[in-house]
Structure 1
Amino acid sequence: MQSQWRVIDCVDLDGMISYERGHMKVKRRGDDEPVSIPLAQTAVVLIGLHVCCSSAVLYEMARAGVSVMLCDWRGVPDAALHSWANVPSEVAARQIAQSGMTLPRKKNAWMKIVKAKIRGQAACLDALGIEGGGILRGIASSVKSGDISNYEGYAAREYWRRIFAGDGKRFRRVPGTGTGRNAQLDYAYMILRGFTIKAILSAGLIPTLGVNHHGRGNYFCLADDLLEVYRPAIDYCVAQLGVSDCLSDRDVKKYLADSVNQQFNSSGLTIPSSVSDFAQQFGLYCEKRIDSLVVPEYQGPYEKR
């Protein structure tokens, strides 16, 4: 079994992958020599649309217990190849642990996610110079295991009625409306969700097994759980736009895409990197390698502190 969780990201590779004596050889088009990577130290390989590899390479990866993710143009996995052979696999071990996670452990994870999200919303209001941060922090302190009292919803009502109050009319968060602030948020959240899906699949987690989100029509319940803590960082950036800024403007789309690549907090990680780290932490939490889930928290725009 692999001694560490190693993800080989070949999403942007324009070249080929080959196999030689227990190693995958990754060669970019135009390079003279390939990079050699031991399969025994690899858990997941992400393959993009411009990668050439033979079925023999995929077979050797399967024999080594490596999971292969086939990704679209955005880098989001669309399909996966897992070994059916009786070989040690980090992915299989982690998924068994995730499926057996106890309800109290799930509830504790959700409590920490909700607390971090609400405190992030408070930091967003503070950064925008809007009153209400103290109220939200008080709500966050009241969240209990599983958030059975739905303090998340209570905080959301307080938050959304404040953040865009300067637009001149009462804002109501309605996903999928396709206009105004809702459209801006939907677009940025969509990009954030893509990064989160990639992170949880790279971490070998089962995407349908969320800690709070559930539903037969949602294949990525866990992604919708983990991304909650990153929403306030996106909201802050959306608040910098005008209510009339439209997605038909390429500059607006670029701005929203860049907002998902911002540095998240003092850790120095960007949002995509933080999401990847968080997904790995959740995997360790599922496996009981760590007793307490450490949830990242937004503390306002880092560059202005």
Structure 2
Amino acid sequence: MTKGWRVIDCTAMTGKLTYKRGQLVVEHDDTETWIPLSDTAVLLLGIQTTVSTALLQQLAVFDVEVLICQWNEIPIAALQPWNKPNTRSAARQNAQQEMSIPARKAAWQKIVRAKILGQSHVLDKLDLEGGELLRSLAVQVHSGDPNNIEGQAAREYWHRMFPEENFHRFPGLGEGRNAQLDYAYTILRGFLIKSICSAGLSPTIGIHHHSANNYFCLADDLVEPFRPAIDYQISQLPNEPLNAELKQQIVTAVNSQFSPKGLTIPSLVDEFCGQYAQYCEGWLDKLPVPVFGKRR
């Protein structure tokens, strides 16, 4: 797997993408920009961009995650390379499919607890009330979260975030903080999909998410502990409509460190997916889940 870190967003671009000598060549407004594929982790494609088949082939060679987005920048498809399969793919995907219900529920319990503890840390860092309440809710998360403590914590959390903006979290709303969060989560999801496939796991076999219409159920499970770190980074940005400059700031935020002395978010995502693969196969008795704000 390449260690690319750059996110290239072409969702709003009218132009052409081609490949030349290890480079992604972006042709737009009579200008050319050359970007090394070895530095690229995720490429977002929109409906107005023309892409050469030679580039698509090389994107697979360089293990670049390609997300194809519709008009509102929501991904509807992805390009997965087959040329570098994980040698344990078959064993791990069989283990995923055969994982016991108690093991799935235990993993989801740890993921939800980590997410809520991360949310409490965000409120603490922003000097907002509610951190202690969320920590008390995290303790109440049982195996499989049958009482939906995750949902209860989310209501308390979003009720307090961005207090001066009278904010309400509505995914897909397409404006203000909601648009910023959606865009950041899209990029983060791209890193998850890339790491899941590199770890030899199937993105369709989730822990908690099981929608027949969702090809990336596992990504939507494993993304949860990382959301609070993204939320905090978004809180540090101006509340403005999405534009090219703000998108670049969000990309930088997704590439930020998860903790002051820890790995970056993409690197930790990679590690976490590998650990989940080991958990599926029984090499780990408990799934180690990263918690935003907890020193590693």
2:236 match: 240
2:208 match: 212
**TM-score, scaled to structure 1:** 0.73
Structure 1 residue runs of 5 or longer lacking an equivalent are 1-6, 17-28, 30-46, 59-67
Amino acid paired to 1:203? A
CA distance in 2 between counterparts of 1:157 and 1:198 reads 30
1:51 match: 58
1:226 match: 222
1:287 match: 281
Deviation, structure 1 residue 51? 3.3
1:147 is paired with a residue of what secondary structure? coil
Larger radius of gyration: 1
Match of 1:278 among 264, 272, 277: 272
Q: How many residues align?
A: 245
The answer to whether residue 175 in structure 2 is matched with residue 179 in structure 1 is yes
**Are the aligned partners of 2:66 and 2:80 in contact in 1 as well (CA < 8 Å)?**
no
Identity of aligned residues (%): 48
Structure 2 residue runs of 5 or longer lacking an equivalent are 7-19, 24-35, 37-53, 69-76
CA distance in 2 between counterparts of 1:14 and 1:128 reads 46
Amino acid paired to 2:144? G
- Cα distance 1:202–1:129, how it changes in 2: closer, same or farther (>3 A)? same
2:152 match: 154
CA distance in 2 between counterparts of 1:82 and 1:156 reads 40
Deviation, structure 1 residue 93? 1.0
**Are the aligned partners of 2:5 and 2:255 in contact in 1 as well (CA < 8 Å)?**
no
Deviation, structure 1 residue 96? 0.9
Deviation, structure 1 residue 241? 2.4
**Are the aligned partners of 2:105 and 2:143 in contact in 1 as well (CA < 8 Å)?**
yes
Deviation, structure 1 residue 9? 5.7
CA distance in 2 between counterparts of 1:209 and 1:147 reads 19
CA distance in 2 between counterparts of 1:70 and 1:241 reads 28
**Are the aligned partners of 2:87 and 2:200 in contact in 1 as well (CA < 8 Å)?**
no
**TM-score, scaled to structure 2:** 0.75
Deviation, structure 1 residue 232? 0.6
Deviation per CA, 1:171-212: give whole Å up to 9, x if none.
221111101111110011110000011010111111111100
1:72 is paired with a residue of what secondary structure? strand
Following TM superposition, where does structure 1 have runs of at least 4 consecutive aligned residues deviating by more than 2 angstroms?
7-16, 47-53, 68-74, 79-83
1:201 match: 197
